[in-house]
């Protein structure tokens, strides 16, 4: 029973340890985000590589990881700094951070040193950032070598411009929709105008017909009155004619 209890305790310890390791790995991955290799170079005695976040936003974080490897014996890093620059409104250059990766540190052959830092991007900075390596090292008793390469770094998305473009697209869609509505209204208005013109013509024609009808009625009344008068006159003359005696 004691053996079973020890076995269970060992299993619990292993499970907890694996959980912590996986959580740590996920935390590092989440911190790094979508990373990209922005710079790599090999110099006499050392090789260096810099990875960083592929993109970020104003007010967001930029994670940068620096790795240096000794490719010779007796390498001594006097200093290794990485400077990161951004641009206010995409124009005016400012320093975002100066990272000290290592100083006065010896490296054995094939030894790799890694460092990771997180930088907060100001709200008014966007566009492509810029990185610069400041490296000074020596190999055994040889004179020191200095390297200062520069390279483009993480892109800070211009969310303000993106929002304006999104609003412009929405306005264009609304404009196109309203244009379609107005076009349909214009077509319907033209149809109504055509119908009105036809009705107006029919009305004018009916007015003419009514006028003709009134004239016909007047002629008929005159003829009737004339006929009645003629009949009455004839009857009167017949009645006034003298009688003949046989």
Q: In terms of domains, do 50 and 153 share one?
A: yes
Which of residues 109, 135, 157 is at a domain's end?
157
Q: In terms of domains, do 153 and 49 share one?
A: yes
Is 90 exceeded by the pLDDT of residue 238?
Answer: no
Enter the DSSP assignment of 142. Answer: S
In a domain, 127, yes or no: yes
The least confident of 21-25, 53-57, 120-124, 147-151 is 21-25
**Could you tell me which residues come within 8 angstroms of residue 42 by beta carbon, excluding any fewer than 6 positions away?**
71
Residues 119-132 have a mean pLDDT of 95
Residues 157-184 have a mean pLDDT of 81
Domain extent for 188? 159-246
**Could you tell me which residues come within 8 angstroms of residue 183 by beta carbon, excluding any fewer than 6 positions away?**
none
pLDDT in tens, 205-230: 766 665 665 666 666 666 676 666 66
- Per-residue pLDDT band for 245 (boundaries 50, 70, 90) equals very low
In a domain, 53, yes or no: yes
Predicted local confidence at residue 185, as pLDDT: 77
Q: In terms of domains, do 186 and 141 share one?
A: no
CA distances from 177 to 51, 166, 172, 174, 233 (A): 46, 17, 8, 5, 83
Q: How many CA atoms lie within 13 A of 112 on its CB side?
A: 9
Residues 144-167 have a mean pLDDT of 90
In a domain, 42, yes or no: yes
pLDDT in tens, 3-19: 444 444 444 443 434 34
């Amino acid at each position: 029973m004691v053996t079973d209890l020890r076995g269970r305790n060992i299993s619990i310890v292993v499970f907890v340890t694996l959980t912590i390791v996986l959580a740590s790995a996920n935390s590092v991955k989440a911190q790094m985000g979508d990373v990209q290799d922005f710079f790599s170079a090999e110099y006499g005695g050392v090789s260096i590589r810099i990875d960083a976040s592929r993109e970020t936003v104003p007010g967001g974080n930029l994670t940068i990881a620096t790795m240096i490897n000794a490719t010779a014996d007796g390498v001594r890093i006097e200093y290794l700094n990485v400077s990161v620059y951004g641009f206010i409104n995409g124009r005016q250059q400012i320093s975002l951070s100066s990272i000290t990766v290592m100083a006065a540190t010896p490296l054995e052959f094939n030894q790799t040193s890694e460092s990771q830092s997180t930088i907060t991007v100001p709200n008014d900075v966007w566009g492509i950032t810029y990185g610069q390596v400041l490296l000074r090292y020596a190999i055994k008793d040889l004179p020191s070598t200095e390297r200062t390469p520069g390279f483009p770094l993480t892109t800070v998305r211009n969310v303000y411009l993106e929002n304006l473009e999104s609003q412009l697209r929405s306005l264009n869609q609304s404009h196109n929709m309203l244009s379609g509505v107005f076009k349909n209204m214009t077509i319907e208005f033209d149809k109504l105008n055509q119908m009105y013109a036809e009705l107006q013509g029919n009305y004018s024609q009916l007015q003419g017909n009514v006028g003709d009808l009134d004239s016909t009625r007047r002629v008929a009344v005159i003829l009737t009155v004339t006929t009645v008068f003629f009949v009455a006159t004839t009857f009167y003359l017949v009645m006034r004619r003298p009688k003949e005696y046989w």
